[in-house]
Structure 1
Amino acid sequence: MPDTTEQAVRDFPVARRCPHAPPEEYVRLRETNPISRVRTPIGGEAWVLTRHEDVRFVLSDPRFSSDRRNPAFPFFVAGQQESISEFRPNMLSLDEPEHGPVRRSVLGEFTVRRMQALRPRIQRIVDDCIDELLTGPHPADLVASLALPVPSLVICELLGVPYDDHDFFQRCSTAMLSRNTPADERLRSAGAVRGYLHDLILAKREDPGDDLLGRQLVKMRDNGEEDVEDLVAMATLLLVAGHETTANMISLGTLTLLENPDDLAAIKADPERTPGMVEELLRYLTIVETVTSRVATADVEVGGTLIREGDGVIALGHTANHDPGAFSDPDEFDIGRGARHHVAFGYGPHQCLGQNLARLELQIVFDTLFRRIPTLALAGPRAELPFKDDAVIYGVYSLPVTW
């Protein structure tokens, strides 16, 4: 089997040149050398996985650690590991046996049944945003008027965080997720969000309220727990991830549907097809490409290649979701594909906790947006759109639309 000494080292990562297609360099790797050694921008080395089967194997195998405090964990930005080491780890950075209890403590907040109970409120939020969109400037920026406020309002209400502070969260999130943010600024932004949430959680002790943070506080009190730092870590993860990912899916998903008018007409005619369309958008776009990294804790053979203990591993989810070995005609947008086995939400024990909420928000947004504004169109050429080539989560900074 191939060993690390036999592999060439390539520079990594490669920016997208198309909103939905993996870079050509990654496609060639998948076809010729699907498990390859790469050099990260900060000088480290790691393996990259490009095949769907290999990605799912590594993300579900307990011999690959999620602990971001491990010195061998592959980071792409200077100061990122120092930022993580400065604070209490959230569930993304925990392995068993610590991970399971933390995840289970909040898993009940994101069941399909609880998410469906939120449907009327999410519908109202979407309708209110579209009301303001229709009465505001024309052309309008869909990111500022719909894509950002909808998931921000939803996650703030779910957590029990004042939405009035959403501009603060957005500034900090942008700094934390940009590859160009200086290390000291990244650390300050992460500290500012955690400090804010720490103070909010302490204030909620007196009157927890019927929201996620309040219910977690009551549960901690009933269990005789006093340390709130784990709750701060969880709240930071949910707040940042809960609006950034869905916001980018709304904007890029809208762009994709506008560029595929036959598929858009199909869901307008039959909203029952919207859930399948959302799954295809998740697969087709896969806005989170490299967050699902790991460190091998033992020598493991993956797809015929030996990955040694202590090696970093990067799972290229976008490239895996365009693997012809897993999906027929993967570069085609097909709303009837029914491909729920994609890895847009990760895979295994660390798969996205909020995926049921994300699916529901996307379904409501797309059905409502194109029902209420059936003539929606781009207000300029796609080539002029400011894509997030510098961000960990892919998307657009603005999406000018008209109708």
Structure 2
Amino acid sequence: MAGDESFFPVPTDVFVSILMLLPTSTRRRLRLVCKGWRDVVDERTPERQVRTKVLAFISKRQSSRALVFDDDRRREWTFPSSGCFAGVVDMVGTCNGLLCLHETAPCGDRGVSVLTVANPVTGDTRRLPPVPPARSHRSLGRYVFGYHPITGRYKVVHVPSSSSSSWMLDAVQVLDLGEASWREVKVPLGASCNHSCGAVSVDGSVYWLTARADQVMSLDLDDDEHVAFLDTPPAVRPVKASSSSSSVSQAACRLTNVQARLGVAVMRHEPPATTKVDVWVLELEGGRDRRRQRRRWSRRYSVVEPNGGAGGSWSWVTEPHFTHGEYVLWRASLLSKRRLYRCKVRGGKDDRAELGPPELIMSEEFYGALTTFAYVETHEPLPSISLMVFVVPMVARQDHGKIQGDVRLNRQITAFFGGVMHEDMMLKS
């Protein structure tokens, strides 16, 4: 750090004290300034490894709920609709403890479509600008909430629906949290989307399947926002691309997140009413440069639906998170009853794995959707809040003699941080 002090004249210990006052997401971005800063952030302010918890989101009319399970403890948050009787709040995704929510309702002439980012622990919420009007109002398409670990930016991606039978796409919409408007990102010729197969954000990229489920579309969330085609696992069977729901439902696979890797869960139905699931994971080799990485699919394991359908009720793999650590998650439905189970996976790679006995996580009665996520609790502010709100006032309260009352140095700190950060992180007046 000594070689960098002429560039930013703050002693290392003081710099570390400043860093400890900042949110983890901000420290990740400050690593990019120079090698000296990266070394200090990595060595003196290491990130605490936090075990993720299962978050079950219950979407239903008028009021939705997020249930977080941690061993024997349960925490619950309620998200009411904005007032329309038919309004439903769905969860788009979660990144670093922040939730992205999407409310829809058939109120008025055009209906309601509202995106919100919230930290349920702190109670902070922020309404996002609406996506530009779709060319077709038949469907709103699909939203994905993502975070890029290198740039430290949060983004929401909208993959629109098409009114034609080809399910083709010419662009997707992307919103940087903190920006005032969406922008279009062009996609390659032949791009499409099968919305029934899901869409996920994994390690700085957003993924969805093409209409025929024969290729994976990849959107890199870095500054280039590169869109590319990837091959699917060999077990995925292409389907006929059609606007009819019956054709789309033949794609018996779902994208999922498998321990911070892109996964594809491929379902196979065998008599009598047995579901087998092959879990494939995309392995990346060759460093952090995504365009030079070698990609290959490997089958992580193959599992059979436990208990013959959880007591005879209809069961299916959970979405978008099917795995959670050493466990797989299953949901079971019968009329208004909804149950969520977890089963520990036992077995070697590429072999048929054995599942431990089902452990009941949740049992509720409601009519609505049940989705699952991996959640990490955080007290960090929402990312669009000014960085300098946390830097300048807190520095003044520290017992460092060289900083206490040194207005000139405080102004240098303010000017420097304001210059290196993104334009949405400016000092509030």
By the TM > 0.5 criterion, same fold?
no
Structure 2 length-normalised TM:
0.21
Higher helix proportion: 1
Compare CA radii of gyration and give the structure with the larger one: 2
Q: TM-score, normalised by structure 1?
A: 0.22
- The structure with higher relative contact order (CA 8 Å, sep 6+) is 1
Which structure has greater strand proportion?
A: 2
